[in-house]
Amino acid sequence: MTIWTSLEPASTTVDPGSSSTVRLRLRNTGDVVDEYRFEAVGDVAPYVTVEPPSIRLFPGTTGIVELTFAPPRTPDATAGPHPYGVRILPTEHPAAGTVAEGNVTFTTFMEVRAELVPQTVKGRFRGRPKLAVDNLGNTSLTASISGGDNSDQLSYEIVPSNVQIQPGRAAFVDATLKPRQITWVGQKQERPYGLSVRRSGYEPLAVNGTYVQRSLLPLWMMTTLSLLLALTITGVVLWFTYKAPVRTLAQEKLQQTAATALPEEPPEKPAEKPTQDAAPAEEPKASDEGDGGDKEEEEEKAEEEEKVERGPLPLTSEDQPNLFVQFAQVRLVEGAGGCKLTEAHAVGKLDAATEKALKCFQQAHDSEFGDFSRLAENDGLGNLGRSTMTALLAAHWVDATSVPLKANEPNPEVPWARNVLLWGTQAEIDDGDLASMVKYTKANIDYLAKRVQLKENPTQRDTNRIKEYQGLFGAEQNGLLDNTTLKKLQLGWIKAQNTAGTVTAKDWLPAPVE
């Protein structure tokens, strides 16, 4: 052994989101000049920076390097003690390398976000909102859910009423609101209410919503019934009051005054009807034989005007084979959301087999996440639109809680992130967007089909794109692909949810790759 080491201190504590420094003293106990390189090891290695990364020491001399611990304020920095090590590698005597071991403790922080979907529910007898609770802290969350309103006009059924959520995970709570009194007639009533997430030692987190209670008999229906009843009564009264008298036109037969009746006149002979042999009158001919053709042309023109031109999105079975449907096929062949494309299919064509697998993915997705997922509603069942494409791309990270992207470090996740964020943030696809989509969709297909990975360096533009996407759903714009951002991508959340999106790019649609 030609190295002596000492960590000062051997144990330290750091708050996620801040930093702490530990000194490593190193002495060259050998008899030659040597250079030592340092490398952090252990679960917390991604959060450790060693400065300087290497030092050169003469025999008998001592050097100092600093270890900086900077865990992010995310669920990945789990609260509690974490052992770590610094591997020391001598250049002249590699076999004499050693590992200096220490311990760092991440303090606990609690961060909870709750969201009502939808925020306004309507009904005559009940409303059924859902509450999503996200644990963005670094320790397990145990909480109870309760409901209330100022006027005590609603009763609440909450299932489950208690939740336990691991760091970086979410729980979904079903709530049923019932009015204590039924509104029979009149205008609809808006009843504000709130659901509270209660944690021991913390203030309750309240989420406010509105229940719109409709009357059993709407005002327009009561008005219509009242008018019909009034008209009926008026008609009956008029019938009995002004009943028309009936007068007979029959007259009594005059008595004959003569003993003998006068001879009756012979009946008149009916006029002869024209025979069938008579030539029928000549029917007028059409003044212009071309009128019928003009009429048909006008009808066809009217039908064409009534047709609504279909936009470029979403992609349907009517579209030509293309690169994006080819990606969906490759993704579904691998499997996504419990659905697989196993039947024979035409590459890049949204045929019957592909449409069946897409429907399975959309329905399974909507069934699992309820109102938080709207793939079929946004894109149409069996179609490939912006929401479904975003969810299919994000299925690449189905088991991940975060995706770290370090500057100046090539990363195979960058092509996936750039592609899925383009589909999530761009409601209008121009030439530049399409060129990037084509490049990264081809890279994604190469990975799924051939396990060939394209690695690129993340840039500030990527961070800004992540912040733009986080702003769509009101999350903290930290520029990180954290658990909340990944969940929204997997749910298929996009900019301008209720629109299909437009395309201004000239070369739409790109052909599939061979």
Residue 279, pLDDT score: 40
* pLDDT for 497: 81
User: What is the SS3 assignment for 132?
Assistant: strand
Tell me how far apart the alpha carbons of residues 421 and 183 are, in angstroms, rounded to a whole number. Answer: 47
* 139: nearest Cα among 220, 63, 75: 75
pLDDT at 366: 84
The pTM of this model reads 0.48
Q: What angle do CA 5, 11, 14 make, to 5 degrees?
A: 125
pLDDT the model gives residue 300: 56
Tell me what pLDDT residue 107 has: 95
Cβ atoms < 10 Å from Cβ of 363: 16
Distance between CA atoms of residues 78 and 75, nearest Å: 6
CA distance 483 to 456: 22
CA distance 196 to 211: 16
- Listed as ranges, residues in the chain with pLDDT below 70 are 1, 185-186, 217-222, 242-310
- If you count them, how many residues does the chain have? 514
Q: What is the DSSP letter of 357?
A: H
- Look at residue 260 in the predicted model and tell me its pLDDT: 44
Instruction: Find where tokens 């009264």 sit.
Output: 237
Give the strands of the sheet with 170-179, arranged side by side.
112-117, 130-135, 170-179, 154-159
What's the token pair of residue 97? 């390398």
